[in-house]
Structure 1
Amino acid sequence: MDMRKLEKEIFRRCNELLSLQKPDGTWRFCFENSLITDAYMLILLRNIEYRNEKLIKQITNRILSQQSEDGLWRVYPDEEPANLSATIQAYTALLYSQHFKSNDDKLQSAKQFIIQNGGLKEADLLTKVFLAMNGLYEWPDVPIDPAILFSLPMTAPINQYDISSYARAHFAPVLLMADEKKKLTSKYTPDFSDLYIGENEGYHLEEWVNLFSLLNIRDSYLHLKKEKILSYIQHHIEPDGTLLSYSMTTIFMIYGLLTAGYELNSTVIQNALSGLLKMFCETDGTLHLQNSPSTTWDTSLILYTLLEAGVPIHNSAIIKGAQFLLIQQHTKYGDWSVHNPHAAPGGWGFSIGNTIHPDIDDTQAALRTIAHFYQTNTVYQTSYDRGLNWLLSMQNDDGGWAAFEKNTNRFLIGNLPIKHAKDALIDPSTPDLTGRTIEFLGKFHGLNHHHHSVKKAVNWLWENQEQEGSWYGRWGVCYLYGTWAAITGLIACGVSPQNKRIQKAKRWLLSIQNEDGGWGESCESDKKRRFVGLRQSTPSQTAWALNALTVISDQPTAEMDLAAKWLMNHKKTDYPTGAGLPGAFYINYHSYNKIWPLLVLVNYYKKFVR
C-alpha cells in the first residue's frame, strides 16, 4: 500500500465532500428507491387531473428508464425472474400516462409476463390495495370494519400501537377507503379486464382478511367511529404537508381524504401535493420521487466522516452542518412515547421535514457530530444529553434497538399469515441498529460491555449471530451490513478482537471476498435470508467489510491491502445497498459511494499508518 497515495486520496475526497455542501449546511444526495413511488405519483396526478404535462412526461421517462432489456421491471438489477408487482406498477402507470396503450410494443412483454404469472391477484398486498384504491381491483369482504383498529383502547387484545409506525401510517389512509370499498377513478383509468385471471379476482386479498380476522375484537368496540383515523392522520401531518415525511404515505393520505369528502382545493390536500413535489430529485437525466429524502441522515454521516478524517471543528462547513443538526433535533412527543412514556424528546429523524418520527440510527449518527462540540458550547451539551437520554431509553427489553419504537415486536403480529409480517408489521431489534448504537456508546460515551445497557445489547448480538458467523442487517444489504455493524459495535465497547465469535465472523468475511479485492452482496440475500454473493464488488459493501476487518486486526493483511486499493480505484456503483422491504423496496443511496469508502480509508490510515 502506497501510504502517500492514500493520504492524497483521503485529502481529495474530503475536499470533494466539502465542496458539495449546500449554503444551509446540509448535504443533499438523491435517495433513489424502487419505482413504486414514481408509478403511484403518476397515477395520482392523472386521477386528480393535475395539469402539468411536462411533469407527467418526466415521470413517464423515469419509469421507462428503469425497464430492463427484456421489457420487464425489477427492484434490483440481478433479480430473476423479474418482479411481478414492480412490472404491474410500471405497466399501470404507463397506461395512465396516456403516452402508451396496452397493445404498444413497449408494453407487450410486461403484459404477457403479468398474464403468464397469474395476473393481478399474484401481486403483493400493497400493490393490490393500491389497485383497489383506483378501482382496478375488487376490495375484499372482511369480517369486521378494519378501521376499528384505530379506535381500540390500549387494553384491547391488539391496538394500533402494536403494529409498526410505518405500517400504521400506510394503513390509516387505506382504512378510510376499505370498509365502504371506495375508489378514486378518472377518465384516465385503464381497462384491466384482460389481466383478471380466473374468477373471484377480488377475493385474493387473503392477507388483508388474515390481518383483521385474527384480532378477536369484541363487538362492544364496533360502534367506534372512523374519526379516530382522521384524527390520527391530522396529528401526523408534518409542517411540509406530508404524512410522516414519506411520499408513499402522503399519496395514500390524499386518496383517503379525497374519498372521505375532502375537496381537492382544500388546504390539507394542496399542502400534501406541495410536499410531494418537493421530494423529487434529478438522477441520470430523469425526475424521481424519493420516498423519504435522506438529508439529515446524509448530513450526519458526512459530518462524522469529515471529523474522523481530521477536518477541524472550527471549519466553517463543520460549524454550519452542526448548527443544522441542532435545529433538526426533535422537541415533540411522537408515537414512540406510547411505549416509552417517561422519556423526553431528543432524537433525530431521517428527512429534513421530519419533526415527530425520530429513529435510533439517525439519532446515534447525529450525536457523533454533536459530541465533538460538547466541551465548546452549552447548547451542544444540552443537545447531546437530550439525545443520549432518548437513545438509551429506546432500548428494547430484549437488549437490542429497533428502528422507530420500543417493544413493538409482538409475536402474534409478526407471525400473522401475511407476507413480510416480520419486516413491515413489527419493529423488532436488529443487529445493524444495535451494533451501530453500541459502537457510538462505546466510542463516544465511554460505555463498555460491563455497563448494564451495553451488556444486554452484547448478549442480544451473540444470541442473533448466524451459524456461519455473520449477522443479518435489516436496513442495508445485508449480511455484510449487519456483520460490519455488529463487529464494530462489539469491539468499540470492549469485546476482544480475539473472541472466538469475532474470529468466526472474520473468517466468514474473508471467505466471501471477491477476487478483485472487494465485496459484493446481492439483494437476493434479503429475500432468501442467506448470503448471496454479487460478483460485482460495490464501494459501500467493500467499505463495510474492510472496516470490520480493520477493527479486528493488529496489522493489515494482503486481503485488506487489496480491498483498500480497490476502494481507491473504484468510485461508484448504481447497485442498491440500502434495504426497505425484502424483495420489494431497495435504495441506491447516492451518498454512500462517497461516505463509507472515505470513512474506512481514514480508519485504515489512522490504525496502520499514523
Structure 2
Amino acid sequence: MTKERSVSETMSYPGDLGNVVDRAIKSAHGALSNRQHEDGHWVFELEADATIPAEYVLLEHFLDRIDPEKQKKIGVYLRRIQGSHGGWPLYHDGDFDISATVKAYFALKAIGDDPEAPHMRRARKAILARGGAERTNVFTRIQLALFGEVPWDAVPVMPVELMLLSRKAYVSLWNMSYWSRTVIAPLLVLGAYKPLAKNPKNIHVPELFVTPPAQVKDWIRGPYRSHWGRFFKYLDSVLRKIEPHFPKKTRKKAIKKAIAFIEERLSAGGLGAIYPAMANVVMMYRILGVSDNDPKVVQAWQSIQDLLIEKNGEIYCQPCVSPVWDTGLSGLAMLEAATGPKAVEREETFKNLKKSASWLRDRQILDVKGDWAINTPHLRPGGWAFQYENDYYPDVDDTAVVGMLLHRLDPEENKEAIERAREWIIGMQSTNGGWGAFDIDNDLDFLNQIPFADHGALLDPPTVDVSARCVSFLSQLGHPEDRAVIEKAITYIRKEQEPSGSWFGRWGTNYIYGTWSALCALNIAGVDHQDPTILRAVEWLESVQREDGGWGEDCASYEGAAQGVYKQSLPTQTAWAVLALMAVGRRDTEAVKRGIAYLTKEQDEKGEWNENPYNAVGFPKVFYLRYHGYKQFFPLTALSRYRNLESSNSGRVEFGF
C-alpha cells in the first residue's frame, strides 16, 4: 500500500469521532471493571500452542494418573486447533510445525483416537512428508525417549554433573536464563536415571518414523548457527563415550545438588511457575520413589492443575499464569479512562485501584534474593514476579509496569514500594545499557550453540522492549540522579533500531510492539519528537497501516516474514501503534484518527474486542503466546489516551506508558 492518500480516502472515521470514542471508553471501562477480582487483581487466560496440553496428556500417562474426563476435553481442544495442513502450528493460522504435530498426534492416540481417523491420517502423512518424528526438536525427542519411542542417544548429553559447576565455568546453569535453569535442573535428574513411562495403555507411535529409531545414525545434526555448533557437536560425541564412566560418588552428589536447588525454589506456584519445569519435577519425584502423597509432590501436582483452563467443553493447559502483568496493564488502562476532564467513574475506579495497589504491594518481593543475585549479591530485592508466586524469579518488565501504575495512582502512599522497585531496576541494568527480563549480562551467546539449545533461547540477553519499560519507569519518576542510567539505556535503544525504522519486539508481536515500547520510552525520557530516530520510526509505523485504519502483524515476522504486516488488522496491535504515535506528538494526525476509528468500529456490544491471532512470544520460532487480556486493556488505554490528549497543550504524553 502507498503512504500517500487523499483526504477522502483517509477520512474513514465518523464526523463525531469524539463522541464515539467517549461511548467506547465507557463501555470498555465497564467491561474491564467487571473482570476485576474482589481483591483488586486481574488475571486473563494465557494460551500457547498444542504442545503444552499434549505434554500434559502424556504426563498423566507417564505417571499413570489418567483422568479420562480431562483427557477427553483436551482431545476436543487439540482436534479443534489442528491446521488445514494436517498438522499443528505454533500459533493461530501458522505453518505446520513437526514437533508440535508429533506431540499432538501422540497425545490424541493416548487419549484414544483411532490412528486411521481422518484427522490422524492427515497428521501422520504431514509428519512423514517432512522427515518423520526423528526430525523433531530436542524437547520432543526427550518426550519420546521417556516413552521408549527413541533411545536416549537421540537426546544431547546433559550430565547431571552440570549442577556442580560454578558460574565461572562457562557451560554452567548459572550462565543460562531462569527458564532454562528451572527446566534443566529436574531434567538432568531424569536424564541420569533414563526412566520409562508407566504408559498403562501401552501407547506407542512407531508409525511416525521414516527411519526406525534404532537405525538412525545421527540424531544431533545441523544446520549449525556458528562454528561453536560444530565444536559442541564434537564435544557431545566425546561425552557420550565418557559419561558412563563418571564416578558414582560424583553423580550422587550432583543429583543431591539438583534436588536441593529444586526444593529451595519450590512453592505453591510450582518450580519457576512455568509448566515444563513443574512437569519435570513431578516426574523426577516419581523416579526417585517419592510418594504421590508427599506434601512436596502434592504441591507440585496442584501447581500443574491450577494451569488448566476448562470452557465450552474443552480443556487446555496454560504454560503459566500472568496475574501481576495483567493487573499492572489493566490498572493503567482503567486509570487512563478515569482521568482527565471526561473521566469515567473516577471515584469508583480509584477506590478499586487502591485495592489493586494493595494486592500488588503484598506481592512485591522484598526478602528473597533470587537467582539474579548471583551477579549482584549486594542489591536489595524489590521486584515483582509475573505470576502469583515465583519469588526467586522477579522480572524487571513487570516491576517497571507495576512501578508506573503505583506512581500514577499515589506516589506518596506507594513511596516505599516504588523506591525499592527503582533501586532494584537500576541495579539490574546490563553492561550494554539494556535490561534482560530476569538476569544481568545473561548473554554468552555461544551457549545457544550447544545441541540441547536447538531452540536458540537458552539465554536472557537485554532487549529493547524490556529496556524501554525501564526507561519509561525511571523517567516517569524523574530523579535527576538517574539520568546517567537513562542516557545509557537510550544509547542502547538507538543502536538497536532496525534499518526500517522499527524495533524488534522480543516479548510481544513483534516490530509494532517493539516500536511502541521504544517510542513511549524516548518520549518520556525527553527525546525531541523531531529526532531522526523518532521520525524514522513514525514513518515506518505509518507505512504499515492498513486500509481499514488498523494495524496487524503476523507471528511469521519472527521467522523472516515482512515486518508489521498481516492479512487483517488486529485490535491489540492497532492500540500499540496509535499509542506509539500519540507518544511522540502525532495525536491529531490522520493515521491516529483512522486507527482510533478502527478500534471503535471493532468493539462488540459487550464493550470488548475479539481477535484470534497470537500477540506475544516465548521463544521466537519455537514458542508463541496469546494473552487474552491484551485485546481488552490495550484498546481501552489507546482510546482513553486519545481522549485525554485532546485537552493537552504540550503534545507530550506525561507518563511512561
- Normalised by the length of structure 2, the TM-score is 0.86
Question: Which has the higher mean CA deviation after the structures are superposed, 65-74 or 111-120?
Answer: 65-74
Deviations along 1:416-450, one digit per CA (max 9) or x if unpaired, are: 4666564x2111111111112211222x2115898
Structure 1 counterpart of 2:526: 494
CA contact under 8 A between 1:461 and 1:486: conserved in structure 2?
Answer: yes
- Alpha-carbon contact 1:144-1:212 (below 8 Å) kept: no
Hey, what does 2:506 align to over in structure 1? Answer: 474
1:468-498 Cα shifts (integer Å, max 9, x gaps) = 1111011011111111101111111011110
CA distance in 1, matches of 2:202, 2:271: 25
Q: Which among 186, 191, 205 is matched to residue 199 of structure 2?
A: 186
Aligned to 1:603: 641
Is 1:533 aligned to residue 562 of structure 2?
no
Alignment of 1:129-208 (within 5 A): 129-140=142-153, 146-198=159-211, 200-201=215-216, 203-206=218-221
Shift of the alpha carbon at 1:221? 9.5
Contact 1:307–1:313 (CA under 8 A) maintained in structure 2: no
Given residue 431 of structure 1, which amino acid in structure 2 is its aligned partner? Answer: V
Q: Structure 1 residues 158, 483: CA separation in 2 closer, same or farther (over 3 Å shift)?
A: same
Alignment of 1:435-450 (within 5 A): 435-442=468-475, 444-446=476-478
Change in 2 beyond 3 A, CA 1:449/1:355? closer
Distance 1:340 1:213, change over 3 A: farther
- Aligned counterpart, 1:340: 376
- Partner letter of residue 67 of structure 2? N
The structure 1 segments of at least 4 consecutive aligned residues displaced by more than 6 Å after TM superposition are 141-144, 207-210, 215-222
Match of residue 255 from structure 1: 283
The answer (yes or no) to whether the contact 1:142–1:212 under 8 Å persists in 2 is no
Q: How far has the Cα of 1:584 moved from its partner?
A: 2.5
2:464 equivalent in structure 1: 431
How many Å separate the matches in 2 of 1:475 and 1:485?
Answer: 11
* Secondary structure of the structure 2 residue equivalent to 1:451: helix
CA distance in 1, matches of 2:276, 2:477: 37
Q: Which moved more, 1:526-535 or 1:454-463?
A: 526-535
The reply on whether 1:360 has 2:422 as its aligned counterpart is no
Taking the TM superposition and a 5 Å limit, the aligned residue runs for 1:205-284 are 205-206=220-221, 214=235, 223=250, 224-240=253-269, 242-283=270-311
CA distance in 1, matches of 2:380, 2:192: 37
- CA distance in 1: counterparts of 2:104 and 2:30, whole angstroms: 40
CA deviation digits over 1:369-420, x for unaligned, max 9? Answer: 221355443xx22111111111111111110011111111113224546665
Matched, 1:551 2:583: yes
C-alpha distance in structure 1 between counterparts of 2:562 and 2:259, whole Å = 41
Instruction: For 2:626 and 2:481, locate their aligned partners in 1 and report how far apart those are by CA, in whole Å.
Output: 34
Structure 2 gap segments, 5+ residues each: 1-14, 223-228, 340-345, 603-608, 649-657
Residues 231 and 510 of structure 1: is their aligned pair in 2 closer, same or farther, counting only changes over 3 Å?
Answer: same
Q: Which residue of 2 is the match for residue 460 of structure 1?
A: 492
Query: CA separation in 1, counterparts of 2:481 and 2:348?
Result: 30
* Separation in structure 1 between the aligned mates of residue 59 and residue 42 of structure 2, nearest angstrom: 30
Secondary structure of the structure 1 residue equivalent to 2:316: strand
Given candidates 53, 69, 77, the residue that maps to 1:54 is 69
Residue aligning to 1:78: 93
1:548 positional shift? 1.0
Q: Decide which of 67, 81, 103 is 1:89's aligned counterpart.
A: 103
1:523 partnered with 2:555:
yes
Task: Indicate which of 297, 302, 305 corresponds to 2:333.
Answer: 305
CA distance in 1, matches of 2:569, 2:450: 37
User: Following TM superposition, by how much is the alpha carbon of 1:143 offset from its aligned partner in structure 2, in angstroms?
Assistant: 9.3
- Give the whole-Å Cα distance in 1 for the aligned partners of 2:300 and 2:130: 36
Question: Which shifted more, 264-273 or 571-580?
Answer: 264-273
Partner of 1:594: 632
Deviation readout 1:17-53 (Å, 9 max, x if unpaired): 1122111211121111112111111111123222532
CA apart distance, 1:139: 1.2
Q: After TM superposition, list the pairs within 5 Å mapping 1:384-463 onto structure 2.
A: 384-416=418-450, 422=456, 424-442=457-475, 444-446=476-478, 451-463=483-495
Letter in 1 for 2:122: S
Aligned amino acid, residue 495 of structure 1: V
Residues 210, 370 of structure 1: CA spacing in aligned structure 2 closer, same or farther, 3 A cutoff?
farther
Q: Which amino acid aligns with 1:148?
A: E
Q: 1:295·1:350 contact (CA, 8 Å) conserved in 2?
A: yes
| Corresponding position of 2:613 | 575
Match for residue 21 of structure 1 among 36, 39, 59 = 36
- Quick one: higher RCO (CA 8 Å, sep 6+), 1 or 2? 2
Specify the SS of the correspondent of 2:47. Answer: strand
Offset, 1:191: 2.4
Counterparts of 1:18 and 1:119 in 2: how far apart (Å)?
Answer: 49
Separation of aligned partners in 1, 2:483 and 2:415: 22
Offset, 1:8: 2.2
User: What amino acid does structure 2 have at the position aligned with 1:353?
Assistant: E
Offset of 1:290 from its aligned partner? 1.0
Per-residue deviation, residues 59-84 of structure 1 (Å, max 9, x unmatched) = 1212112112443211223323x111
One-letter code of the match for 2:406?
I
After superposing the two structures, state which structure 1 stretch, 535-544 or 266-275, moved more.
266-275
Verify the 8 A CA contact 1:146 1:175 in the aligned structure 2.
Answer: yes
- How far apart are the structure 1 equivalents of 2:641 and 2:308? 35
SS at structure 1 position matched to 2:530: coil
Structure 1, unmatched stretches of 5+, are none
- Give the superposition deviation at 1:10: 1.4
- 1:117 paired to 2:138: no
1:288 counterpart SS class: strand
Q: Cα offset for 1:165?
A: 0.9
> What is the CA RMSD across the aligned residues, in angstroms?
2.6
In structure 1, what is the Cα distance between the partners aligned to 2:35 and 2:297?
34
The Cα offsets for residues 267-323 of structure 1, whole Å up to 9 and x where unpaired, read as 222221111111122355422211111111101111122112224597331111111
Whether 1:508 aligns to 2:540 is yes
Alpha-carbon distance, 1:142 to partner: 8.1
- Separation in structure 2 between the aligned mates of residue 86 and residue 144 of structure 1, nearest angstrom: 23
1:360 partner letter: V
Q: Distance in 2 between matches of 1:489 and 1:367?
A: 15
Note if contact 2:335-2:350 (Cα within 8 Å) is conserved in structure 1. Answer: no
2:361 corresponding residue in structure 1: 326
